[in-house]
Amino acid sequence: MERNAVVFGGTGLIGTLLIEFLCEDTFFDRVKVLTRRPITLSHPKIQSKILDFSDGSTFKKEIEKNDLVFSALGTTQAKVKGDKQVYRSIDFDMTLKIAKACKVKNASSFLFVSSSGANALSSNFYLKLKGEIENAVLELDLPSTLILRPSLLLGTRNEYRFGERIAQRVMPLTSFLFPPYMKPISATLVAKILIDLSKKESSVKSKTIENKALLDYVF
């Protein structure tokens, strides 16, 4: 039986790394990359397709039974020009549509990136939204849902984010002052953990991995 990975959000920091590592991993036979804009990476394993992410029905056509499905979808306030409704339509609506497609097509496991501090009861818009996404996906009762909650991601993005770039330089120097859930973490590590979990724990019903556990992860 073919081992297939399906990746949503393959143009961001984690998504780009994830695709690279999936292609290198002999465990996977095929890597289907579904994005809103073209990717630059080329590899014999990759099947790339640009989709209209506002149409959730298209997701069902791209996911097959027993696929391992990854989502690193996300946006920023700058990209949506501060429009929280648009922000929600990308982070919440799209992630939930992917999860529903996983449910219908009986995907083996759905793995997605959330955020440290995610809490549906938070007064912070971003953390509240991430918490609501987690709850909505878990309510679908998928065969397996694995959620990663990293803190600030360290790595070079394709797009420039001034505030994040400053934080990436300062926080590693002062990370010893922060509690575990706030310590910055390498995007490379997060991508590798996603893949490792997909192979080892795809039969686990649901699991949420906090930032400290990610930092202490043993392969």
Tell me the pLDDT tens digit for each residue of 115-130.
999 999 999 999 999 9
H helix intervals, 42-186: 57-62, 84-88, 95-105, 125-138, 162-174
Residue 190: how many CB atoms within 10 A of its CB? 25
71-80, 87-96, 168-177, 199-208 — which is least confidently predicted?
168-177
pLDDT value of residue 77: 76
If one counts every other C-beta atom within 10 angstroms of the C-beta of residue 14, the result is 26
Domain boundaries, the chain: 4-153+186-207
Here the tokens at position 149 are 């909650």
pTM for the structure as a whole = 0.89
Could you tell me the fold of the domain covering 4-153+186-207?
Answer: Rossmann fold (3.40.50)
pLDDT band for position 52 (50/70/90)? Answer: confident
Condensed to tens digits (0 to 9), the pLDDT of residues 18-48 reads 999 999 999 999 999 999 888 888 999 999 9
pLDDT digits (tens, 9 = 90+) for 160-188: 444 445 545 555 555 555 677 889 999 99
Other residues' Cβ atoms within 10 Å of the Cβ of residue 106: 13
Q: How many CA atoms lie within 13 A of 133 on its CB side?
A: 35
